[in-house]
Structure 1
Amino acid sequence: MTEADRPSQPGRIEHQAQGVLCFSGDWTLPHYAMLRRQVERFTDRRSTDRDVVDLSRLGALDTAGAVLLVELIGTEQLAHLQTWAPKLPAERQALLCSVADAVAASSPLESGRALPVRDFLGATGQQVESLWQQQRLLLGFIGQVLVVLARLIWHPSRWRLTALVSQIHRTGLNALPIVALLTFLVGAVVAFLGTTVLRDFGATIYTVNLVAFAFLREFGVLLAAILLAGRTASAFTAQLGAMKANEELDAIRTLGLDPIELLVLPRVLAMIVTLPILTFVGMLSGMLGGAMVCSLALDISAFHFLSILQRDIPLEHLLVGISKAPLFAFLVGVIGCLEGFKVSGSAQSVGEHTTSSVVQSIFMVILLDALAALFFMEMGW
């Protein structure tokens, strides 16, 4: 009778004398449930005692049974299978070794003891690697945008002015009320804080200088850029992500058009145009809020407030603040478009990359603002 004609006998595990663990019967998928229960009973004892394994009476074997044998015997012992089981048929040796290698490759730390420090360092390394890959991708995308922009400068007929004007309307004009309101309120808060602190030194008149310096150099451009990062970068990501999910980007490429030229450049250029304007509006609104507090709490009239600005605040502070706006706008626009292109096609992916675009944009704006502040301070500007 051949092995194929022989009736199937469920596999068994027998613990014989002198620590011999004997495997017999068929270790195949039809008997998997029963074999799993036997393996679970022997697993705890095997963790403390190392047995001599006998596979001479092993019957039929498939991948399901081989996985259970690997789990019970261990990948380290199966690495020397040919040494202690030379009479096992070559095809079964090959199957057990292949399954053992696959298990060892998929869970190299399975047999090791869990170490919180190692897990923390591993997770930290993965986060650093992910951040590095993300920054490399951002630099590559910035290069693509600049190349397309340089190519279009010499071909005015390919400029998409209608799309540019539409994006300026969406990103600039529609954002004016919220930028003006927020900076007005922050200007009032800064003036209140200045009044509270400077009153103890009898220098409340310098509240005007505090508000002017803060908004001309930092708060005006920073608040406007953060608002655009949360309002506009997320919109760019959602729009482009929805287009990718609907395969509209593939259709654009099929028509022979460049998505960067068609979709990215109008949005980025609109941001570069609108953010300096919003920054200027934010500066004026912030100083107007500070002037209101000075008028109500310090009896500093609007005329006196303006005369102090004209006398003590140089024009270079306004130029320093405005000069940072185009760079912030370019980065916010590029990050928002890049995250839209990275959407995988599902609604969940759209939400994740929209959140990522806002976080990255705000982080980059604050980081560059800090570096710019250090640079201008060292330059004495």
Structure 2
Amino acid sequence: MQEGALFEVEDTGGNGVRLVLSGPYLVSTIGAVDQDLRDIDGDLDTIDLSNVTEIDTVGAWIASSLAARHDAEITGASERAQRLLNAVGQIGDGADIRPERLPIYLRVPEEVGGIVREFGRGFVGIVGFLGQILVAGAGLIRHPSRFRGRALVRQMELVGVSSLPIIGLMSFLIGIVIAQQGAVQLAQFGAETLTINLVGRITLRELGVLMTAIMVAGRSGSAFAAQLGTMKLTEEVDAMRTIGISPMEALVIPRILAAVLMMPLLGFFASCIAIVGGAVIGDVMLGIPFLTFLNRIQEVVPLYDLYVGLAKAPVFGLIVALTGCYQGLQVQGNSEQVGMKTTKAVVQAIFMVIVLDAFFAVFFTEIGWG
């Protein structure tokens, strides 16, 4: 049976205080005395290893650490122990536990510069990705037989038909909120009937398409990134290239076309359902008959508001699908990347949709459709 590691502190008088280690100092035995060795107070002059029967790297590290902490000399080490002491002594533990923190006037520009550089790198990457899509699209135009119609129909079902319930519910509730809050504020001026104008114009022109794009980004954009990311991780994308199938033609273009084609329909559907929600509140709170509310919408909402919303929808669909597919194909290394790229795809898509919506608002106002 192997004995445990032991130690003893001796006061030798003129030769100072000596720490005598005895027994095997191995990783399997050192645990019994490790804490007691750390708790030794006072100064040590020498650490005697002559009674140590066996020693490994852990034991040598303990002895070397004690010698460094107490500024003591190690004596009685065997040839093996001395080799281990020399090896662990070269490692050193003088490195800072925490890296030096730069002052804020340097740290903030460095962080901003890193963000700008990453944005520029991502912008160049997505422009290049768009170029690959255009090249693949041109190839499909030259060879229509390679176009995957079934994949397009399937993606249109997933992006459009399957999302109708959640988009309809969201739009209905948004219409209710707009009508209710607008009626409360307009009542202060005796203009409750203008709630019809508010609901009609804001849903057809802005919120219907914008909220639909955000929902599609969270639902379909994330799905695109996760699906393609998983395929990239399991090397299915590389396998497709190996057997002569273009991932752009088979995976990316059907998803992008589905999003571009379905977004105008979803946006129009969302706007109509939001108007219905507003009409319900108008009937319940304002005493405006449901059908009168709907008829009045046709009179107070300019037709170009509908055109503005429908013009923005395909662009938003393109941005959502492009971002989701691009981030999905950037996955590499491990499964954690799938979650990271999916999150990044949703955040970037929503950000770009809101930025483009602001751009469109200014543009249409300048051309007289404000």
> What TM-score does the superposition give when structure 2 sets the normalisation length?
0.74
Which one of 287, 296, 299 corresponds to residue 299 of structure 1?
Answer: 287
> Within 1, Cα distance between the matches of 2:63 and 2:330?
47
Distance 1:272 1:40, change over 3 A: farther
What corresponds to 1:236 in structure 2?
A: 224
What corresponds to 2:244 in structure 1?
A: 256
Query: Contact (CA 8 Å) 1:244, 1:345: kept in 2 or not?
Result: no
Q: Please state how far the C-alpha of 1:345 moved relative to its aligned partner.
A: 3.9
What is the total number of aligned residue pairs between the two structures? 300
Matches within 5 A, 1:138-149: 138-149=126-137
Deviations 1:24-51 (A, max 9, x none): xxxxx99988778888899xxxxxxxxx
Which one of 292, 304, 318 corresponds to residue 330 of structure 1?
Answer: 318
Q: Give the SS at the match of 2:173.
A: helix
Which one of 276, 295, 306 corresponds to residue 288 of structure 1?
Answer: 276
Matches within 5 A, 1:269-288: 269-288=257-276
What corresponds to 1:6 in structure 2?
A: none
What corresponds to 1:96 in structure 2?
A: none
Query: Contact (CA 8 Å) 1:187, 1:285: kept in 2 or not?
Result: yes
Q: Please state how far the C-alpha of 1:124 moved relative to its aligned partner.
A: 2.1
> Within 1, Cα distance between the matches of 2:221 and 2:280?
33
Q: Give the SS at the match of 1:169.
A: helix
Which one of 153, 160, 171 corresponds to residue 183 of structure 1?
Answer: 171
Matches within 5 A, 1:122-133: 122-133=110-121
Deviations 1:86-105 (A, max 9, x none): xxxxxxxxxxxxxxxxx9xx
What corresponds to 1:354 in structure 2?
A: 342
Query: Contact (CA 8 Å) 2:320, 2:349: kept in 1 or not?
Result: yes
Query: Contact (CA 8 Å) 1:236, 1:336: kept in 2 or not?
Result: yes
Matches within 5 A, 1:20-59: none
> Within 1, Cα distance between the matches of 2:70 and 2:115?
39
> What TM-score does the superposition give when structure 1 sets the normalisation length?
0.72
Q: Please state how far the C-alpha of 1:349 moved relative to its aligned partner.
A: 0.9
Query: Contact (CA 8 Å) 1:241, 1:345: kept in 2 or not?
Result: no
Matches within 5 A, 1:89-128: 114-128=102-116
Amino acid at match of 2:121: Q
Which one of 125, 129, 134 corresponds to residue 137 of structure 1?
Answer: 125
Q: Please state how far the C-alpha of 1:306 moved relative to its aligned partner.
A: 2.6
Which one of 225, 235, 246 corresponds to residue 213 of structure 2?
Answer: 225
Residue 169 (str. 1) matches residue 157 (str. 2): yes
Which one of 244, 249, 253 corresponds to residue 265 of structure 1?
Answer: 253
What corresponds to 1:373 in structure 2?
A: 361
What corresponds to 2:22 in structure 1?
A: none
Q: Please state how far the C-alpha of 1:117 moved relative to its aligned partner.
A: 2.8
Amino acid at match of 2:267: T
Distance 1:119 1:305, change over 3 A: same
Distance 1:66 1:379, change over 3 A: farther
Q: Give the SS at the match of 1:346.
A: coil
Q: Please state how far the C-alpha of 1:372 moved relative to its aligned partner.
A: 0.6
Query: Contact (CA 8 Å) 1:237, 1:354: kept in 2 or not?
Result: yes
Amino acid at match of 1:258: S
Distance 1:345 1:195, change over 3 A: same
> Within 2, Cα distance between the matches of 1:176 and 1:160?
24
Distance 1:226 1:113, change over 3 A: closer
Which one of 198, 201, 208 corresponds to residue 210 of structure 1?
Answer: 198
Q: Please state how far the C-alpha of 1:159 moved relative to its aligned partner.
A: 1.3
Query: Contact (CA 8 Å) 2:64, 2:88: kept in 1 or not?
Result: no
Which one of 177, 184, 192 corresponds to residue 196 of structure 1?
Answer: 184
Distance 1:40 1:365, change over 3 A: farther
What corresponds to 1:84 in structure 2?
A: none
Deviations 1:51-87 (A, max 9, x none): xxxxxxxxxxx9998886xx98xxxxxxxxxxxxxxx
Distance 1:66 1:122, change over 3 A: farther
Q: Give the SS at the match of 2:108.
A: helix
Q: Any unmatched runs of 5+ in structure 1?
A: 1-28, 43-61, 73-102
> Within 1, Cα distance between the matches of 2:133 and 2:66?
60
Query: Contact (CA 8 Å) 2:61, 2:88: kept in 1 or not?
Result: yes
Q: Give the SS at the match of 1:342.
A: coil
Q: Please state how far the C-alpha of 1:207 moved relative to its aligned partner.
A: 0.2
Query: Contact (CA 8 Å) 1:190, 1:211: kept in 2 or not?
Result: yes
Q: Please state how far the C-alpha of 1:150 moved relative to its aligned partner.
A: 2.6
Amino acid at match of 2:324: G
Which one of 328, 345, 353 corresponds to residue 340 of structure 1?
Answer: 328
Q: Please state how far the C-alpha of 1:303 moved relative to its aligned partner.
A: 2.8
Distance 1:40 1:237, change over 3 A: farther
